[in-house]
Amino acid sequence: MTESIIDARAVRLALGKGSARVDILKGIDLAIRAGETVALLGPSGSGKSSLMAVLSGLERADGGQIDIAGLDFGRLDEDALAAARRGRIGIILQAFHLLPTMTALENVAVPLELAGEADAFARAAAELEAVGLGHRLDHYPSQLSGGEQQRVAIARATAARPAILFADEPTGNLDGATGETIMDLLFDRQRETGATLLVITHDPALAARCARIVEMRDGAIISDRAAA
Please classify residue 12 by burial: count the beta carbons closer than 10 Å to its beta carbon, then call 0-12 exposed, 13-18 middle and 19+ buried.
middle
Gap between the Cα atoms of 94 and 112, Å rounded:
22
11 or 133: whose CB is closer to ligand ATP?
Answer: 11
Which of ligand ATP, Mg ion, none interacts with 22 (beta carbon under 5 to 8 A by kind)? ligand ATP
Considering the rule CB under 6 A, would residue 15 count as an interface residue with ligand ATP? yes
# residues near Mg ion by CB under 5 A: 1
Gap between the Cα atoms of 16 and 193, Å rounded:
38
Considering the rule CB under 5 A, would residue 49 count as an interface residue with Mg ion? yes
Part of the chain binding ligand ATP (CB under 6 A), chosen from 3-11, 40-48, 125-133, 191-199? 40-48
Considering the rule CB under 6 A, would residue 170 count as an interface residue with ligand ATP? no
Contacting ligand ATP within 42-61 (CB under 6 A):
42, 44-50
Considering the rule CB under 5 A, would residue 103 count as an interface residue with Mg ion? no
CA distances from 110 to 22, 58, 103, 200 (A): 37, 19, 10, 26
Helices (H) and strands (E) in the chain, counts: 7, 10
Which of Mg ion, ligand ATP, none interacts with 24 (beta carbon under 5 to 8 A by kind)? ligand ATP
Residue 226 CB neighbour total at 10 angstroms = 8
Strands across the sheet containing 63-68? 22-33, 4-15, 63-68, 71-72
List the x/- string, 17-36, binding to ligand ATP by CB under 6 A.
-----x-x------------
**Residues at the interface with ligand ATP (CB under 6 A):** 15-16, 22, 24, 42, 44-50
